[in-house]
Structure formats: C-alpha cells, structure tokens
Structure 1
Amino acid sequence: MYLRCFIQGKPRSWVQWLPWAEFSHNTSYHTNSKITPFKALYGRDTPQVVKVQQGQTEVSAVEEQLMERDAILDDLKGHLLQAQQRMKKGADKFRKDVAFAEGEWVYLKLQPYRN
C-alpha cells in the first residue's frame, strides 16, 4: 500500500521510492503496539525529515533532489489519507450503533480461540 501510494502516477519509478516507503512504514505510529516500528527496534524516536527551503543548500542538484523528495512525501501523505478514508468507509458499511439496556437479553456467538 505504501509503495502504491508513492508511485501513483509514476509507476516506472517504484524502485527509487522503495527506501522512502520503508522509512514511512517504520516511522508511522501503530495503534496496536502504541509505538513506531523504529522505536520498537532501536528504543528511540525516529529521526525527523527536515523540509528543505529554496536556497538552503549550495549544490543545486542536492536541492533539486530534496525538493523532489519533499513533494513525493507530501503526495504520499495525501494518498495514504485517502486510502485510510476509503478503508474506513468500507468498514463502516457493516457497523451500526446498538445500545442495550441493563438486564436486556442478547445473543452472543462465541468461537473458540485457536493458536
């Protein structure tokens, strides 16, 4: 999913963005573990990616590459947000709010837990 979001519109450049997809995954907060995979592995917070400003570097090729990186990372955030919203919308189709009163009988379907 990360890689798909990175290369949307530029399918031939997927190899170039593979390390950034990995970085994005490893630095994303996971609700199950309550930390990022990076922190789980290294025991410290992830290094921050600083956005480059126009004229910040003396080498134009480096500045161009950093500007392209920032644009791709911004696109990725937008695409991932859209993907999350689509998944939530699909999951919400099968959810409904049900309120039960105390003492009300309900049917529970229990399945044995298997390892």
Structure 2
Amino acid sequence: MSSSYHPQTDGQTERLNQCVEAYLRCTVHACPSKWSQWIPQAQYWYNTTFHTALGKTPYEILFARKPTHFGEVDLGQSTVPDVQTW
C-alpha cells in the first residue's frame, strides 16, 4: 500500500505509468488532444507484452491462452496469393 502524494513508495505502479506514458507519447504525437482515445490500445499493448517477472504476458496468465492480435484471423486456404503468403 502507498500513501497519497508519495508515488515513490509504489515502484510497480510507477513502472506501469512510465510504460503507458511512453506508449501514449509515441502514439499521440500527431494529435495530442485525442490521447484518451488511445487508452484501450495502450491497455491491450501492455496486457499482450511479455513480462519477464511473469514469464508470459498478463493476458496469458489471466486467460490461459495466447492473445489474438488485431487483424489476425484464420483465413484457411485463400485464392489470393498475397493473403496466403501472409
């Protein structure tokens, strides 16, 4: 537990805040007034990133399976060569 106005007492929360801040800084550079729209993507990014302390992603720990990433679907066999290669 940490007290108000003493964030140095909770290193884990501070580290999480640093990661999310860095992610948002990179993604909202072009349009800084809309940073709040990027929060769900930041949450997804953090939860699907490998954590050395866990040895897995937080998503894998919680759901016991690997996350599916945006845009990745099982297309099976495709008649379009580029899709099949991808």
TM-score interval, normalised by the smaller of the two chains: 0.5 to 0.7
Q: For 1:4 and 1:37, locate their aligned partners in 2 and report how far apart those are by CA, in whole Å.
A: 22
Structure 2 match to 1:21? 42
Structure 2 match to 1:31? 52
Q: 1:49, CA displacement in angstroms?
A: 1.4
Structure 2 match to 1:108? none
TM-score where L is the length of structure 1 = 0.40
Matched, 1:49 2:49: no
Query: Which structure is richer in relative contact order (CA contacts within 8 A, separation 6 or more)?
Result: 1
Gapped regions of structure 2 (runs ≥ 5): 1-21, 73-86
Give the 3-state SS of the residue equivalent to 2:70 in structure 1.
coil
Give the 3-state SS of the residue equivalent to 2:56 in structure 1.
coil
Which has the higher Rg, Structure 1 or Structure 2?
1
Q: 1:40, CA displacement in angstroms?
A: 0.9
Q: 1:4, CA displacement in angstroms?
A: 2.0
CA RMSD of aligned residues (A): 1.5
Question: Where has structure 1 moved over 6 Å in runs of 4 or more?
Answer: none
Q: 1:29, CA displacement in angstroms?
A: 0.8
Structure 1 match to 2:32? 11
Q: 1:41, CA displacement in angstroms?
A: 1.0
Gapped regions of structure 1 (runs ≥ 5): 52-115
TM-score where L is the length of structure 2 = 0.52
Q: Give aligned pairs, total.
A: 51
Identity of aligned residues (%): 35
Superposed CA deviations along residues 77-112 of structure 1, whole A, max 9, x for unmatched, are: xxxxxxxxxxxxxxxxxxxxxxxxxxxxxxxxxxxx
